[in-house]
Amino acid sequence: MISTTVPVLQHRTVLLDEAVDALAIDGARANGTYIDGTFGRGGHSRLILSRLGSSGRLVAFDKDPEAIATAAQIVDARFAIVHDSFATMRTALAGRGIGQVDGILLDLGISSPQVDDAARGFSFRQDGPLDMRMDTTRGVSAAEWLATVPEQQLEKVIRDYGEERFAFQIAKAIVARRAIEPISGTRQLAGIVADAVKTREKGKDPATRTFQAIRIFVNQELEDLEAGLTAAFDMLAPGARLAVISFHSLEDRMVKQFLASKAKVEQPDRRLPIKAADLPQPQMKLIARLKPSVDEVAANPRARSAVLRVAERVKEAA
């Protein structure tokens, strides 16, 4: 039972039905094994469980201790939660005797409770400690990293991970301020960025891209995504599907390029005497690219940047 003394921060699962529908959990596959790579507050996991057969299995992953606590409320023998990144799925499932799975869902976004909880430090909307870690039990916080990072590296992170054209000015301002006082609060950092950015995008706070960049770096999100996509491909059984929801261009570009590389084959020289049956075959088939509906974006503005990409592991030739 959730204590009434603790505020419950609501989370709307983006592309809930579309993502779970994409896994095609039906027929014999209803008794298969599935992975929810980011449990969050359990929206996707609960819907997957509702579609599984009695002998189906679902293994979910999350770095966030609060997500793990929420997952502990699910009492279902078919469900297991792993307190780690989905990048570790191959090792984690091998320990459970699982080598292949029938579907994998990766939701790359951070949850609304994480953003709305000032104590987590993900947002500058409210003042809070500059933490930004998905897993608050391990690793270096954003404040600790900003205290020592060399200016050139900071500029590179803000430019590459935030796609921020004022990265040089922002990095210079942060390093200058930390020489005077520690940078430990979200509003403090947002103010430094605002002073350094002379022109602003309409409707966007000048600190948005910098906060995104630091969060991505602190949590090694792109490294996890690269490792997770490779592991997911290796674990998919023939005919199984991979569904990935991304929320910014860096993630979506990586997902798009990875899936495209698996769906494409190098064509041999047509002049060579090669039988059609011996021609190289794609390893995956691209199924869909979906965006949230107008109604979903109206109900949940944070969904507006979401992109769902779906691909299927090609069945091996007979």
Give per-residue pLDDT as tens, 222-245.
999 999 999 999 999 999 999 999
User: What are the tens digits of pLDDT across the range 14-63?
Assistant: 999 999 999 999 998 999 999 999 999 999 999 999 999 999 999 999 99
- Average pLDDT in the chain: 91
Question: Would you place residue 174 in the very low, low, confident or very high pLDDT band (cuts 50, 70, 90)?
Answer: very high
CA distance 216 to 29: 35
- HEC profile of 155-190: HHHHHHHHCCCCHHHHHHHHHHHHCCCCCCEHHHHH
Binding residues for S-adenosyl-L-methionine: 42-44, 62, 86, 107, 114
CA distance 93 to 90: 5
Q: What is the pLDDT of residue 276?
A: 52
Alpha carbon of residue 88 to chain centroid = 14
Question: Would you place residue 280 in the very low, low, confident or very high pLDDT band (cuts 50, 70, 90)?
Answer: low
Q: What is the pLDDT of residue 4?
A: 26
User: What are the tens digits of pLDDT across the range 94-151?
Assistant: 999 999 999 999 999 788 888 889 999 999 889 999 999 999 999 999 999 999 999 9
pLDDT of residue 248 exceeding 50, the answer is yes
CA distance 187 to 68: 29
Question: 3-class SS at 83?
Answer: strand
Q: What is the pLDDT of residue 199?
A: 76
Q: What is the pLDDT of residue 281?
A: 80
Question: Would you place residue 318 in the very low, low, confident or very high pLDDT band (cuts 50, 70, 90)?
Answer: very low
E strand map for 131-254 = 236-246
Lowest mean pLDDT among 54-68, 69-83, 263-277, 303-317: 263-277
**By CB neighbour count within 10 A (0-12 exposed, 13-18 middle, 19+ buried), where does 27 fall?**
exposed
Burial 167-199, CB ≥16 within 10 A → b, else e: bbbbbebbbebbeeeebbbbebbbbbbbebbee
Q: Which residue has the higher pLDDT, 28 or 188?
A: 188
pLDDT of residue 305 exceeding 80, the answer is yes
List of residues 6+ apart from 26 with CB closer than 8 A: 51
Give domain limits for the chain.
Answer: 16-112+221-313, 136-218
Instruction: Calculate what percentage of the chain has a pLDDT beyond 70.
Output: 91
Question: Rounded mean pLDDT of 196-220?
Answer: 90
Question: 3-class SS at 299?
Answer: helix
Question: Rounded mean pLDDT of 210-219?
Answer: 97
pTM of the model as a whole = 0.90
**Domain 136-218 belongs to what topology?**
DNA polymerase; domain 1 (1.10.150)
| CB hemisphere CA count around 290 (13 angstroms) | 22
- Integer-rounded Cα Rg, in Å, for the chain is 21
**Domain 16-112+221-313 belongs to what topology?**
Rossmann fold (3.40.50)
Q: Which residue has the higher pLDDT, 118 or 204?
A: 118
Binding residues: 42-44, 62, 86, 107, 114
- Report phi then psi at 240, rounded to 5: -80, 155
CA distance 218 to 149: 12
**Matching fold, domains 16-112+221-313 and 136-218:** no
List of residues 6+ apart from 102 with CB closer than 8 A: 23, 25, 29, 32, 33, 34, 237, 240
Q: How long, in residues, is the chain?
A: 318
Q: What is the pLDDT of residue 8?
A: 39
pLDDT of residue 278 exceeding 60, the answer is no
